[in-house]
A and B are shown apart, each in its own frame.
Chain A
């Protein structure tokens, strides 16, 4: 059970990556059964995208926490801006791709994002953070 915010963020990072691996395996299997090879690729890309983006949020906050307030602000919102730009470019590239299956990609992203939210909420609720750190 994490007792500092830094410990909580590092545990969250590990659990998010584990969840993405689970979605990749389960989604890849389901996708392969329903859509064949494109379904497998879609689930893998969807899980990877959600994992990278979840990890970027956690990293931007934990790196930003070591900076003064202005740096923290820039790190978190700058990280968010870069993330959305990357995501929009990736979506644009994947829209014309023939090696993925659209619905499978969508459901893999949604499953990873919602699973990530469940993991994050569980971690925050179970953490015993002191009112005052340092």
Chain B
């Protein structure tokens, strides 16, 4: 099977966020593989181990994204592709990314594409389904179980707490989330091997893309932090009294019940 994973390097949102002039300060911040994409990498490796084939991890970004690609290779992916847009693109949105990936997949034989359900930075969750639509393949989002039997694919999908049991077929794109698997940590031998695995670098020219063709359709005009929250009230006294006070506060002060 030819398995592809769409991976994004993201800001580690556990970090403190500093905004200056409407932009998030990236200096000194930690960057990680988008946590949802880790489920996709893990699942791709498991499916390959079961059915054979090859796992290729693809990202759009700049030189810095090599680190996250190497991590995916160390987890067990076979090949990585970096579509480097640093010199060609000032700004892009989900439309941009999907169009670039469409061009990348144009001459590829694809059985399965896995992506994260959403990236924790911009959190739009659009790129996976957009790519599937552009490639004319079915997709299923927020999956928690994947089993492939020949061309038939059985999936469990989380729908706001309920589970949908879905039958579909390859070629297919899925987006992954918690509950699907437990992403592995790269092992030391894995890390050593990853250094020798192929990592191809492409630019928009290599994909025959003109930057006007992928021009973003949305624009961010400002970024700001939420207003500081005032310190809360920790209640005191006998537990029974605290409970009474809490219910009264919720009713009369906060007016939420």
Mutual binders A and B: no
Which B residues have a C-beta under 8 Å from some C-beta of A? Answer: none
